[in-house]
Amino acid sequence: MQTEKDNRLPFLDILIERRADGSLGHSVYRKPTHTDLYLNGRSHHHPAILRRHKVEKIHKPPGKLKALLGTTKDKLGLKTSGVYRIPCECGQVYIGKTGRTIEKRLKEHERCIRLYYPNKSAVAEHSLENGHRIKFQDTEIICHANNYWDRVVKEAVEIRLQKRKMDRRRLPSEQYVETSPEETEGGEDTH
Ligand SMILES: [Zn+2]
C-alpha cells in the first residue's frame, strides 16, 4: 500500500501532491531507483542552435497534417479529449493526454515541429533534436476521457504498459519519449 508522505502520494507513476491550499496537483513521479526510466524531454535547445546544426535539413516535414489525419483509422476519435499515442519512425512513442480535442493537440505538436518550438512539445523536441519524422498518421487513440483524473490515471497505466512492451523487446528504458504535463485549457493556443 502506498502511503501519503509529506502531503504527497505516489500513485502508479504519478505523484499526487496536496498543495498548501488543500487542492491536489500532480506530476510524473520518478522513484529514486528509476530515475533513468524516462528520456528527459526538457533540454531546451534554442532554435538557432538547431539551425546551426542543420537540423532542418535532416528533418523531413510531416507534410500537411490534415491530409495525414485523413488516413487515421479512428478519425472521429480525434474530435474528443482523451489519451493518445504517437509513434516516431525510430520506434519510440509519445503518450499524451489532452482536455481539448486530440486533433487540436496533434496540430499543435505538428506546428511546434514546423516552427521550431522544441520547448512547447516533447514530440517536437524529439523530432527536432534527432531529425526524426513523427508518424502522426499512425496516432492511436488509447481512450476517450472527459474527466481529468481519468486521463491522468489512464495515461499512467499506458506508460507502464508501454514500458513492459519495450522491456520485452529488450530496448533500453531510455527509449521512451517522456509524456508532458497536460496543458491548461486553451493555454497553448498560440503561434
Ligand atoms: Zn524518433
- Taking all residues of the chain, what is their mean pLDDT, rounded to a whole number? 70
pLDDT of 98 higher than 80: yes
Ligand 1 centroid, distance to 134 Cα (angstroms): 7
pLDDT, residue 5, reads 65
Q: What is the pLDDT averaged over residues 60-77?
A: 51
Please list the residues that pair with 75 across neighbouring strands.
Answer: none
Identify the CA nearest to 78 among candidates 123, 47, 109.
Answer: 109
DSSP character at residue 48: H
Q: What is the pLDDT of residues 7-36, one digit of tens each?
A: 666 555 556 666 666 666 666 554 444 333
Burial class (CB in 10 A: 0-12, 13-18, 19+), 67: exposed
Ligand 1 centroid, distance to 164 Cα (angstroms): 19
Residue 89 is placed in which grid cell?
A: 519512425
